């Protein structure tokens, strides 16, 4: 089975734009689960531009109701680590965070010694607060970065999430996708040798997700902006249902190494 994590940050973006109580993030999480989502993903950013601290525990309750996981994306700051430990998500996806960026702009730079040490320390703090927590690292599909992941890897790390933003952009521009596919094939081999999960996220649309599914690289997709955008026209439940049905119909698990 290929899992669909629905990132509902932008439901909160709309709410924060007016400072109202609506649209409800809790209702959004329920709607996603009722229509086939396998996980809810939220990103608690240091600047709190969309998801707020109270949203994390509220969404956590919904994930408990459905017995499905909450995946919390976060940077490595002490303040966010504290909120994560208090709200006890099932997964944490560690991402680089830069206050000026419009959205996460790439994977963790584990080749930089200071960044590597920060990530290592965040993992240590999270695991000591939440021993059963599963951690994924948001990274570029790059063999040198994957060698660094190996240094941190099991049992502290359970998966990597590959940054698919450049792939998704190339797909929309109708550029050559073969270099991405070749890179994902190599990365998957390395990741499977480490016995980690291989997840994907960022910038994905229905069509660009289907093209990846057919290749059978990834076990999990975390998709947000496209789903919420499309919901304006079709409704959240209907978009999630259609996407999950397409994932089930097109998942090519035979293609996996």
User: b/e map of 181-194 (b: 16 or more CB within 10 Å)?
Assistant: eebbeebbebbeeb
Measured from the CB atom, the residue of 11 and 204 that comes closer to ligand PXP is 204
Least distance in Å: CB of 219 to ligand PXP?
Answer: 14
Binding of residue 63 to ligand PXP (CB under 6 A): no
Query: What number of chain residues touch ligand PXP (CB under 6 A)?
Result: 19
CB neighbour class for 218 (10 Å; exposed up to 12, middle 13-18, buried from 19): buried
**Residue 227 to residue 229: CA distance in whole angstroms:** 5
Binding of residue 73 to ligand PXP (CB under 6 A): yes
Candidate list 10, 202, 220, 230, residue with the active-site label: 202
Least distance in Å: CB of 229 to ligand PXP?
Answer: 9
Tell me if 85 sits within 8 A of 53, measured CB to CB.
no
Binding of residue 93 to ligand PXP (CB under 6 A): yes
Binding of residue 43 to ligand PXP (CB under 6 A): yes
Binding mask 129-158 for ligand PXP (x = CB under 6 A): ---------x--------------------
Phi-psi region of 256 (alpha: psi -120 to 50; beta: other; left: phi over 0): beta
| Pairing between β-strand 70-74 and β-strand 134-139 as defined by DSSP bridges | unpaired
Least distance in Å: CB of 160 to ligand PXP?
Answer: 11
């Amino acid at each position: 089975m290929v899992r669909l994590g629905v990132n509902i940050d932008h439901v909160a973006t709309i709410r924060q734009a007016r400072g109202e109580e609506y649209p409800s993030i809790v209702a959004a999480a329920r709607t996603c689960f009722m229509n086939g989502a396998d996980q809810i993903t939220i990103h608690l950013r240091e600047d709190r531009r969309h998801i707020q601290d109270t949203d994390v525990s509220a969404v956590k309750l919904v994930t408990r109701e459905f017995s499905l996981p909450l995946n919390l994306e976060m940077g490595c700051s002490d303040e966010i680590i504290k909120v994560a430990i208090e709200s006890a998500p099932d997964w944490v996806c560690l991402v680089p965070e830069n206050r000026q960026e419009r959205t996460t702009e790439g994977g963790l730079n584990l080749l930089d010694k200071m960044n590597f040490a920060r990530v290592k320390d965040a993992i240590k703090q999270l695991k000591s607060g939440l021993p059963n927590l599963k951690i994924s690292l948001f990274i570029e599909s790059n063999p040198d970065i994957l060698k660094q992941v190996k240094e941190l890897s099991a049992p502290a790390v359970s998966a990597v999430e590959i940054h698919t933003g450049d792939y998704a952009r190339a797909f929309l521009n109708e550029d050559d996708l073969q270099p991405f596919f070749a890179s994902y094939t190599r990365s998957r081999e390395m990741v499977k040798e480490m016995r980690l999960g291989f997840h994907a996220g960022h910038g994905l649309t229905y069509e660009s997700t289907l093209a990846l599914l057919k290749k059978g690289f990834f076990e999990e997709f975390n998709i947000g902006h496209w789903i919420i955008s499309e919901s304006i026209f079709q409704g959240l439940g209907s978009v999630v249902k259609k996407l999950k049905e397409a994932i089930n119909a097109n998942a090519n698990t035979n293609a996996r190494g």
